Amino acid sequence: MRNIARWTIPAAIAMVATSLQCAWSDQGLTGDVRNTFVEATMRSCLQTQLNASGNSGVPVSVIQDYCKCSANGLADKISLDEVKVLEAAGSAEKSRTVMQSRLEATAKMCLEAAKKNLR
């Protein structure tokens, strides 16, 4: 589960941009925008993590839990205003760069939780 920056943000930003009329808070995404972001992030994460050679032998349920944790963690750390700015920039690379520290912090926390589930 090392492909942290390659999965999430570009797909999730594009999906969320279609639902920007929904509510947001200072503490992350809420409502339909959050649901769309989490679903898109989870799909992208699952695809990347299930195809990662380093994850062979890791139970699918553990990868699913990791992706769910990561998607929700990111949704807690991004505001609707940030989604709008990243969507306007139109660059997947810029999205990854801007979100890198949040991606890494969230992934680290979720990886530790996933490791506990393997025991």
What is the pLDDT, as a whole number, of residue 85?
Answer: 79
Kindly list the domain boundaries of the chain, sorted by start residue.
9-118
What is the pLDDT, as a whole number, of residue 87?
Answer: 78
Ramachandran angles phi, psi of 90, nearest 5°: 65, 20
**Tally: H helices and E strands in the chain:** 5, 2
What is the pLDDT, as a whole number, of residue 61?
Answer: 93
Ramachandran angles phi, psi of 64, nearest 5°: -60, -45
pLDDT beneath 70, residues of the chain: 1-27, 91
Nearest in space to 1 (alpha carbons), one of 64, 77, 76, 89: 64
What is the pLDDT, as a whole number, of residue 15?
Answer: 47
Ramachandran angles phi, psi of 26, nearest 5°: -70, -15
What is the pLDDT, as a whole number, of residue 73?
Answer: 93
Contacts of 56 (CB under 8 A, 6+ apart): none
Tokens of 1: 């589960």
What is the pLDDT, as a whole number, of residue 95?
Answer: 73
What is the pLDDT, as a whole number, of residue 7?
Answer: 47
